Amino acid sequence: MVNELNNSQDISNITNKFVDALIKRDLLGIENSVEEAIKNGFSAHDIYINVFGSSQAKIGEMWHEGLITSAMEHFATESTLAQMIKVSQSFSTSKRNGFKVIVACVEGNLHSFGARIVADFLRLDGWEVEFLGADTASGDLIEFAQSGQADLIALAVSLDEQIDVVEDIIHQLNDTYQKYKAPSILLGGVAPSLNKFESYDNCSVVYTSTHNALIEARRLVGLTYSGTVLSHYLVILGKKVHELRKAKNWSQSDLASKCGLDRTYISAVEHGKQNLTIGAAVKLSDSFGIHLTDLLS
């Protein structure tokens, strides 16, 4: 509890430093606050939502209230986007789920920042992501989705006047694909009337939670969340066992006899094919002389 409190205080301190640096146009301060967040071990999610998301909302509110100019708002947004590239690279992963998603803001929507966060989270979750940014013309979007064989279209919708645009995209998609399966649609953002689409087939609405966005995206293309994560996790664990064994200069048979498991079991673990039991994991970590949590982390 105390730890959680310290963590949330730390991240809000970093967010304050980041906003301060943006407003002072202090390029070094901008970089340093992000590096501090990475060094302190905050997750990509923490940094994106708490540092970047909150600062964008604060700076955006200042623009809405006429306290800063649009030049200042643009500078803050672009500087934050540059830092996002750095953070997404330092958390990048090679995992792939085999599906392609296009993330875009519907025609007329300039609120691209939240959509960009969702795009980066989908990429970190293994999707092939094509991000189109703000104000995407509906016809062009559909042509782009069809020619690139997208499985999912994720759309940011921020104002109620954009609801008709979404309606039109859904009709155009049905006309374009006809008997072929059209890509599913994931809708997100703060337009109050988005709930209108909750009952539509092949469509899902997520309001603000990025966690739900990832779950819904997978559900819409028929991927179970835990299944893919487990298989990915087993591959990582297998690589770790392989590296630890090689570091000791042991053959698979050496390791098998040290931990009392079959050699074919070790081989399956190393290839990420074995959903190993806790008992087997304990035997492996004991043989390597490391703690179980170090093996599994």
Rg (CA), the chain: 23
Could you say which DSSP state residue 53 is in? Answer: I
Q: Which is nearer to ligand B12, 5 or 71 (CB)?
A: 71
Helix (H) or strand (E) holding 134: strand 128-136
Binding mask 242-281 for ligand B12 (x = CB under 6 A): ----------------------------------------
Closest separation in Å from C-beta 90 to ligand B12: 20
Q: Does 109 contact ligand B12 by CB under 6 A?
A: yes
Identity at 204, one-letter amino acid code: S
Q: Does 118 contact ligand B12 by CB under 6 A?
A: yes
> Kindly report the CA angle at 42 between 93 and 2, in degrees rounded to 5?
145
Q: Is 4 helix (H, G, I), strand (E, B) or coil?
A: helix
Closest separation in Å from C-beta 109 to ligand B12: 5
Contact assessment for residue 42 and residue 11, using Cβ atoms and an 8 Å cutoff: yes
Residues in 186-215 at the binding interface with ligand B12, rule: CB under 6 A:
186, 188-192, 206, 208, 210, 213
Closest separation in Å from C-beta 244 to ligand B12: 38
Q: Which is nearer to ligand B12, 11 or 154 (CB)?
A: 154
Indicate which single residue of 117, 223, 261, 269 sits in contact with ligand B12 (rule: CB under 6 A): 117
Q: Which residues of 96-130 are buried (b: 16+ CB within 10 A; e: fewer)?
A: ebebbbbbbbbbbbebbbbbbbbbbbbbbbbbbbb
Q: How far apart are CA 112 and CA 132, in angstroms?
A: 9
Q: Identify the CA nearest to 134 among candidates 113, 159, 163, 165.
A: 113
Contact assessment for residue 102 and residue 154, using Cβ atoms and an 8 Å cutoff: yes
Contact assessment for residue 74 and residue 127, using Cβ atoms and an 8 Å cutoff: no
Binding mask 72-101 for ligand B12 (x = CB under 6 A): -x---x------------------------
Q: Which is nearer to ligand B12, 110 or 236 (CB)?
A: 110
Residues in 145-164 at the binding interface with ligand B12, rule: CB under 6 A:
154-156, 158-160
Indicate which single residue of 115, 182, 256, 276 sits in contact with ligand B12 (rule: CB under 6 A): 115
How many chain residues are in contact with ligand B12, going by CB under 6 A? 35
Residues in 36-75 at the binding interface with ligand B12, rule: CB under 6 A:
53, 56-57, 60-61, 63-64, 73
Q: How far apart are CA 251 and CA 263, in angstroms?
A: 9
Q: Does 183 contact ligand B12 by CB under 6 A?
A: no
> Kindly report the CA angle at 16 between 15 and 19, in degrees rounded to 5?
85
Q: Identify the CA nearest to 92 among candidates 48, 45, 131, 124.
A: 124
Q: Which is nearer to ligand B12, 115 or 266 (CB)?
A: 115
- Residues of this chain that interact with ligand B12 (CB under 6 A) are 53, 56-57, 60-61, 63-64, 73, 77, 108-115, 117-118, 154-156, 158-160, 186, 188-192, 206, 208, 210, 213
